[in-house]
Structure 1
Amino acid sequence: MKNFWFLLIWLPSFFCAQNYVDVLQIRYAYTPHSNFENTPNHTDVNSFETVATVPFPINESTAIIAGANFTYNNLELFPNDGYSHLYNTTLRLGINTKLSNTWQGTFIALPKIASDYQDISSDDFYLGGLAIFKNQRKSNLFFRYGLYLSQEAFGVTTTPILGMYYLSNNQLFEADLAIPLSANINYTLPHFKVGVDYLGIERSYHLHSPEQIGRYVEQNRLEFASYIEFNTFNKQVLLRSKLGYATNRHAVFDDDDTIGLKVIDFRIDDKRTQLNPKLKGSLFFKIEAIYRFHLNSQQN
């Protein structure tokens, strides 16, 4: 048990201004009545995600980071065609190292299996990776620069990342940005916290069901939300309730209908034919539970 707390205390030194570690995250989102374009039909979209992270320090400047995340999506891909179950399991294995007094680097491999899990094959296995460099400017401010690269059913996608983390001197205002992947801005009030956030999700899933065999789904979901957060158990368990708007692209294509390269949202040589009607964006509701370890609580 002592070693476990040592790991949690040690890890935030790689996150500069952040004085906490989110060890476990659980999220559930419900998007009702997302309409199919040019039809009177709609579908509900249910999403579940859990993320876990464990660090293993090697020395004072380097650590191995291991973790995994599991996601589940449930929706109709075609009007009145029954609900499909889309799963994604990603392992995360990488290294976090101090490069200088002001620079740190994180390099993570992201192999995953993504499909409807009806008949898992080698076609469901994809490789990806993430590299992030962090430059600390002040004790409460750092900038991040990175690149995300992933093999998907439709081809290869790559996303440059620019961001920052800032915590005000009174520790009431916080901004955590990693554009275009995520953004979170919040303010702490006496009994709860309020905030706005953005999350960009891009995944693909190979389909094995008899009706959809030989096809894949390209998921692009952008979430814009406001939230209220309550802290329990000495601020170690965070409970968030969110309301926002989400785009719901779940496009179905034939397996051999691919693109050359996708950079952020720019698709190179994209001549694909989408087989299902497009989904419109809609309001969504989301709840989150986060187990957060606070460094200061162990240092004081």
Structure 2
Amino acid sequence: MKRSEFLQKGLIATGALVTGNAIATNASTPVNPTAIAEGKTFNLNYGPHDGMFKNTAGDNFLDQIQYMHDQGFRGIEDNGMSGRSPQEQEKIGNLLAKLGMSMGVFVLNKGGNGANTLAAGKQEYLDVFLKGCKDAVEISKRCGGKLTTVVPGDFHRNLSLDLQTANVIDALRKGAEILEPHNIVMVLEPLSDTPDLFLRTSNQTYLICRGVNSPSCKILYDVYHMQRNEGDLIANMERTWSEIAYIQTGDNPGRKEPTTGEINYKNLFKYLHEKGYKGVVGMEHGISGKGKEGEERLIAAYREVDAFM
């Protein structure tokens, strides 16, 4: 399998540093109903998740997906896809195909956590991870998703950092051997939730991806987590761009929709567009408002920051 078949094309333009603050949006911010009613597609492929529009479209995820499409969204992501029944996975995949929408990430089943850290180099942990990779192949066939999120778990502090890194690389290489024939990419997500997590920065994740050396092992760059852990967002994305396969959003502080925090998402989305990014931009965050009004304001916020052309 050629590496070029996995990488995005046209990623040649460079961008400037993101600085400055976005205009905050809160419960008193008026909603522009015209922007919401237009329902036209966005400049980037933003992907909501299950429950994001439950107050408007109801609890059924299929109904929510139809509503997302009607509002101009052309992608979704579903962290919980691995926990759905095979029948539900297939229904979601069929609806996405019918609507011409893209499936973003789903989380690898037991892909690595505090109780199953790949840094420890233990066979029993590796076995759980590799089973998750095999499960991902079957899930992908049903839902159409080609990206699965992997978190290597916590530090294993009785080993040196170098040995832990080698253990993670060895485990991911074995996982890539399972996924690569099926064009599935595991995207490694550095997180900010706790300092116990092994994977913390984009540079560290870049090093590991280069060590694994497979088109099936890339970076999930979650803007919220990276703003908290390292900042200098666009510069760090530029440095590691060749290994980035997926983007997620969330403003900081608060992890709500763009315009509610300090990140200049209009500049950042302009950068992604200039780089030629065609993948789903996962909306991995909560909503600042409540009920239907909050969901309308969510769409209006994305209309605002998507207006970078």
Q: TM-score, normalised by structure 2?
A: 0.29
* Structure richer in strand, relative to its length: 1
Higher relative helix content:
2
Rg: which structure is higher? 1
Of the two structures, which has the highest relative contact order with CA contacts closer than 8 Å and spacing of 6 or more? 2
Q: TM-score, normalised by structure 1?
A: 0.30
